[in-house]
Structure 1
Amino acid sequence: MNFFLEVLSGGLLAGVMYSLVAIGFVLIYKASGVFNFAQGAMVLFAALTLVSLVERGVPFWGAFVVTLIIMVLLAWLIERLVLRKLVNRSPITLFMATLGLSYIVEGLAQAMWGAQVHALDIGINDEPYEVFGILLSQFDLFAAAIAGGLVVLLGFLFNRTRVGISLRAVADDQLAALAVGIRLQRLWLIVWAVAGFVGLVAGILWGARVGVQFSLSLIVLKALPVLIIGGFTSIEGAIVGGLIVGSSEKLAEVFIGPLIGGGIENWFPYVLAVLFLLVRPYGLFGDKAIERV
């Protein structure tokens, strides 16, 4: 029984990190109605910038602040040079714009800091820690605590503040939001800046675990089943979806994997996502689209 609980707990802790990545997508989707394919590139850019500054002798917290400023500046440039020109365009146009942005941001990161792999040490050892008789990774506990705290903070910000109310209005109807005086450009800037901050935290945690390398940009693929299960418009859905994906993939790998040859952890979340698309295509907490005809 303890072994089952250890596997389940490890999966839930990993799921919190998945949720953190997925929230970056939810923020952009709620503001513009488009899946931001550039979020993975932003995670890579943030992590690579921070670790490169640290390697050049900048203290960690100083590098964190500088990287955050750079991410906010990047958000401002994206809003000013790209999004402002695409107001009221079709979702596919916005999606293609973020797809192009992903390659631009990745190329910019490589041009600034190079393409080599970096190790990121944040001072937390990946050693077992006993909690109520269950052995858990110290790093997973720390990462889950940081990600969980940020999730709660963002949930409050976008569900209980004026910015959150404006965000929901923009998500429902951009033209109506503009008509009642909501400054769409300012809101997009705030959301992209917050998404950049989320990308920075996610980049630090994932970079410390797997190394800062260009495969970090592929975490968009890991966040996709989380978003499908939880819903593209819900922060709460991103949390629940991440927990479901994290726990199910670990349990499937340990208990089902040996029966079919292993490797199930990499594709089992997508099986769940397909099932959800068939049964509940808008996710557990997503807004069901209702159109008048």
Structure 2
Amino acid sequence: MAFFLETLLGGLMAGMLYSLVALGFVLIFKASGVFNFAQGAMVLFAALAMARFAEWIPQWLGFQSLLLANLIAFVLAAFVMFAVAWLIEWLVLRHLVNQEGTTLLMATLGIGYFLDGLGQTLFGSAIYKIDIGMPKEPVFAFGSVFPGGLLINKEDLYAALIAAVLVALLSVFFQKTSTGRALRAVADDHQAAQSIGIPLNRIWVIVWCVAGVVALVAGMIWGSKLGVQFSLTTVALRALPVVILGGLTSVPGAIIGGLIIGVGEKLSEVFLGPYVGGGIEIWFAYVLALVFLMFRPQGLFGEKIIDRV
């Protein structure tokens, strides 16, 4: 029982990190109706900015406080992502208002490749470390309940808590603020939102800024775990099944989908892997997403679109 719970907890923690990356896809799709293939590049670009600023700031300002350096680096990286969001809207999106979804999709592919190259030019292409002070040693908990206790990775636990707090803040933002309600109105109908005075360009800047902050937090956490390297863009590919499972238009769906994928990967690898030779964790999420595409293509919480002719 203890081993099962350890595996379950590990899956839940991994699932929260998948949800964090998937949120970037959902936020931009809700506001613009386009699937943002640049999300992986945004995660990498934000992580590179965070890692390099954290390295440069102690040299520039002449102090050695890790906490202060990380805090300043996070703020500077957030401003960089805001600038990227504004430039994307100003140079690309405002010229593509009311264009076909395929056109916007191709635009995000171009943005992704541009951010990959720009990140390498500005920040370098080596493997960088982000040290945000999260403890990496595992701990044993609930020793009075289970013999030997449950082995919990403290870094994964802290990362899951950070992701959960951000998800909660985003949920409050969308449900309780006037800007959040405007974002939901734009998601429902662009033209109707414009007709009642909601500025579409400003909304797109805001949602790309929010997606940039989400990418920064995701890149910071994944960079702390894996190191900041250009393979970090593939983390976004792990979030694709999450948005398919939860629904492209649902913030709660991204959360639930991430938890299902995370738990499913861990349990299948541990309990089914020995019977099929292992490797289930690599393809489990994609097979599950394929099943959902065949039987419920809108996902668990997505809106079913019916075209009447």
For the criterion TM > 0.5, the same-fold answer is yes
Distance 1:89 1:144 in 2: 38
Q: Deviations over 1:65-121 (max 9, x none)?
A: 111111101100001110000000111110100000000001000000111111221
Distance 1:74 1:191 in 2: 12
Structure 1 partner of 2:93: 83
Query: 1:130 offset after TM fit, Å?
Result: 2.6
Q: Confirm or deny that 1:93 pairs with 2:103.
A: yes
Structure 2 partner of 1:60: 70
Structure 1 partner of 2:47: 47
Distance 1:69 1:120 in 2: 18
Distance 2:128 2:209 in 1: 25
Rg larger in 1 or in 2?
A: 2
Structure 1 partner of 2:61: none
Structure 2 partner of 1:256: 272
Three-state SS of the structure 2 residue aligned to 1:56 is: helix
Distance 1:258 1:170 in 2: 48
Query: 1:292 offset after TM fit, Å?
Result: 2.4
- The count of aligned residue pairs is 293
Structure 2 partner of 1:14: 14
What is the root-mean-square deviation in Å for CA atoms of aligned residues?
1.0
Structure 1 partner of 2:300: 284
Three-state SS of the structure 1 residue aligned to 2:26 is: helix
Query: 1:161 offset after TM fit, Å?
Result: 2.0
Structure 2 partner of 1:117: 127
Q: Deviations over 1:129-184 (max 9, x none)?
A: 23323211000110010000000000111122222222222122211111111100
Q: Confirm or deny that 1:177 pairs with 2:193.
A: yes
Output the amino acid matched with 1:182. Answer: I
Structure 2: runs of 5+ lacking an equivalent? 59-68, 143-148
Structure 1 partner of 2:175: 159
Structure 1 partner of 2:150: 134
Q: Confirm or deny that 1:29 pairs with 2:38.
A: no
| TM-score relative to the length of structure 1 | 0.98
Query: 1:16 offset after TM fit, Å?
Result: 0.4
Structure 2 partner of 1:71: 81
Structure 1 partner of 2:165: 149
CA contact (8 A) 2:137 2:153 kept: yes
Output the amino acid matched with 1:32. Answer: S
Query: 1:220 offset after TM fit, Å?
Result: 1.8
Q: Confirm or deny that 1:105 pairs with 2:115.
A: yes
Output the amino acid matched with 1:158. Answer: F
Distance 1:180 1:211 in 2: 46
Output the amino acid matched with 1:69. Answer: F
Distance 2:180 2:293 in 1: 27
Distance 2:88 2:129 in 1: 29
Three-state SS of the structure 2 residue aligned to 1:267 is: helix
Q: Confirm or deny that 1:205 pairs with 2:221.
A: yes
Distance 1:267 1:172 in 2: 33
Distance 1:263 1:126 in 2: 25
Query: 1:54 offset after TM fit, Å?
Result: 1.6
* 57-66 vs 24-33, greater mean Cα deviation: 57-66
Output the amino acid matched with 1:19. Answer: S
Distance 1:92 1:209 in 2: 35
| TM-score relative to the length of structure 2 | 0.93
